[in-house]
Amino acid sequence: MNTGLDKRDQGSDTAYIGENVKFDLRTDVPAYPSNAISKSYWISDAMDEALTFNDDITVEGVKADGSTVDLTGTDAYVKILNTKDMGDHDVTFLLKFDYDKIRAYSKIHVSYSAIVNEKAVVGTAIVNHAELQYNNNPYNGNDYTTVPDDTKVYVFGIKVNKIAAGTKTPLSGAEFKLQRNGETSKFVEVSTGVYRKALNTETGSETLVTDANGKLTVYGLKGADDDGNQLTYQLVETKAPGGYNKLGAPIDVTLTPIQDEAKDYTGHLEGESEIGYVAKDVENKTGKLPKTGGIGTIVFSVLGVLMIAGGVMLAASRKKA
C-alpha cells in the first residue's frame, strides 16, 4: 500500500482486475510476565470476496535494533486457512504464534498478497481486514484485545458515448481497443457493450464494441500509479460504423482518483459521470469516398479530348502557313 504506512486503519491503493496487491503487517509483541498462563497471540486476515489470496505468507521477527530473523515456515507459529478468529468471525487465514518463541522480538512482520478478481466493483472499496488478537489478562484466557487494521483497494472505469458528428446520433458497431504506454489491455465481455479487465488466467479480447445505443463501458482499470500519479489511457478506434470515417488518432482518457486529507483514495474520480467512471463522447464524421471509374476517369477523359482538339488546331494552322 502507498498510504497508511505504520498507521492503523489507514492505507489505500488503486489496482486493475488481475493485479497482484501486497499487504504488510507490523505488530508489537507484548511482554507477558514469566508466570502468565494466557499468552495467545494471533494474527489473521479476512479478505473481501474481490480478493483472491495467494497463500504466500512470509513472517519475520524484528529485534529491537531493527534486524530481522526469517520465521517463515518455522514452529514459531501455526497457519490455518479459512477458519475463525477469537471472536468467532470468519477469516481467510490465521497465524497462531507460540509466544515463548517470539518473545525475544519487539515486532512481528507478516507479508502476503492477493489478486484483485472479477468481483471488484467500480468505486466500491475492496476491504482487506487484518487484525491482531492477544490476551490482555495473562491469567484469564477469556480476556483478549482485538486490534483491527483495514486497508482498501479501488478499481475504476471508462464510459464511451459513440455519436455522429453534428446530429449526435448514437453509432453502434464501432470497435476500439484500449491502450496505456503502448500496451493493449484484454477484456471479458460481461454483457453487450460492457467489458471488464481480463484476469491473467483468462484469454480475453482486445476488441471492444459499442452497443445498439452507441455505448461502451470498460472497467476494472487502475486509476493511479505506485507514486499516486494519474493514469492516461488511449482509446484507439479500429473499425468505424458503416458510412463513417475511422478516427485518425487515439483519444486520451485520464483517470484522476480523488484522495482525502489522509491521502487515502475515496473511490471517486475528478470529473466523474458516476462514481468511479469518467465519460467520453467520441464523434465520427460521415465518409464519402470517390467510386472507381467516377470523377477521376471523367477528368482524364476531358483532358484527353482537349489534347486531341489541340492537335487538330495545330495541324490546321500549319496547313495555312
Number of separate domains in the chain? 2
Domain holding 45, by residue range, is 12-154
CATH of residue 178 = 2.60.40.10
> Quick one: cell of 290?
470517390
Q: Which of 136, 154, 172 is the last residue of a domain?
A: 154
Measure the CA–CA gap between 127 and 26, rounded to whole angstroms: 18
158-174: pLDDT as tens digits: 999 999 999 999 999 99
- Cβ within 8 Å of residue 61, ≥6 positions away: 68, 69, 71, 76, 102, 104, 105, 107, 108, 109
Give the residue among 71, 32, 19 at the shortest CA–CA distance from 199: 19
173 with 263, same domain: the answer is yes
Q: Does the pLDDT value for residue 16 go beyond 60? A: yes
Q: Of 97, 130, 154, which one is at a domain's C-terminal end?
A: 154
CATH classification at residue 128: 2.60.40.740
Among 154, 169, 193, the domain boundary falls at 154
* Pairwise CA distance, residues 25 & 93, whole Å: 13
Whole-angstrom distance, CA of residue 41 vs CA of residue 82:
18
Q: Is residue 313 part of a domain?
A: no
Average pLDDT over residues 243-261: 95
Assess whether 122 and 216 both reside in one domain. no
CA distance 162 to 242: 13
**pLDDT at residue 8 in the model:** 54
Q: What is the pLDDT of residue 151?
A: 94
Gyration radius from the chain CA atoms? 32
Question: What does residue 317 show for φ and ψ, rounded to 5 degrees?
Answer: -70, -30
Question: Which of 138, 139, 114, 133 has the alpha carbon at shortest distance from 51?
Answer: 114
- The reply to whether 26 and 74 lie within a common domain is yes
User: Is residue 297 situated within a structural domain?
Assistant: no
Convert the pLDDT of each residue in 71-120 to its tens digit.
999 999 999 999 999 999 999 999 999 999 999 999 999 999 999 999 99
**Of residues 154, 225, 216, the one with CA closest to residue 191:** 216
pLDDT, tens digit, 9 for 90 and up, residues 23-59:
999 999 999 998 999 999 999 999 999 999 999 999 9
Residue 48 located in a structural domain: yes
